[in-house]
Amino acid sequence: MGYLTFDDGLVTLDGITLNAIFQDINIKTSVRFDEAKVDGASGKKKTPQGFEDSEISISMILLTDDISDCYEKLEEINSLFKGIDKNTNPKIYTITNRHLLARGVREVVFASLDSVETNNSDEINITLRFIEHNPPIIKMEETKAKQPTAKELAEESKQETLTTDYVFTVEDN
């Protein structure tokens, strides 16, 4: 497992500082909905079902300078993108960035690399996209943690019964 860090505008991926100009970072998290068609009604009923994994986009510019041109820099970043772990899976990176940590993102997978070149300059604009990594075991533990136990449900039910006022009417026959 490698690290994804940001210090003073420098992005470091797996110990390698990217030779690029940091532009911005965008973090997107959204609610997951279950959509069901309702008979006799237009549209769909949406029921919130939790949260989608966060999507992180980092925009950077690769310049041509005395050290290397923008294409060589792109090749280096592309090799990081295509890097694999010992099981030939895409690498998982641990986050050390305060912005991402504030959003609750702890681990990511390098999901895509976009590059755009224009005719106007000798530079390449790139976007590194990462997807939050939540292993199934962690997701199951979080789900179980949210579900009340049978004992808790029984105690909750008992409390509701004790706090409810009942009015009984006795009739003489």
* Amino acid type, 91: K
* Predicted local distance difference test score (pLDDT) of residue 59: 95
What are the φ/ψ torsions at residue 5 (nearest 5 degrees)? -125, 155
Q: Are 70 and 116 within 8 A, CB to CB?
A: no
| Cα 103 to Cα 27: distance, rounded to the nearest angstrom | 8
pLDDT at residue number 109: 93
pLDDT value for 27: 93
Going residue by residue through the chain, which has 173 residues, state the pLDDT in tens, using 9 for 90 and above.
688 887 778 898 888 899 999 999 999 999 888 888 877 777 788 888 888 899 999 999 999 888 899 999 999 999 999 988 888 888 889 988 888 888 889 999 999 999 999 888 889 999 999 999 987 655 555 555 555 555 665 565 555 444 445 444 555 55
Give the per-residue pLDDT at 163. 47
Can you give the chain as a three-state secondary structure string?
A: CEEEEEECCEEEECCEECCCEEEEEEEECCEEEEEEECCCCCCEEEEEEEECCCEEEEEEEEECCCCCCHHHHHHHHHHHHCCECCCCCECEEEECCHHHHHCCCCEEEEEEEEEEECCCCCEEEEEEEEEECCCHHHHHHHHHHHCCCHHHHHHHHHHHHHHCCCCCCCCCC
Q: What is the per-residue pLDDT for 164?
A: 47
Q: Is the pTM of this model over 0.75?
A: no
Give the pLDDT of residue 49: 84
- What pLDDT was estimated at residue 111? 94
pLDDT of the residue at 137 = 57
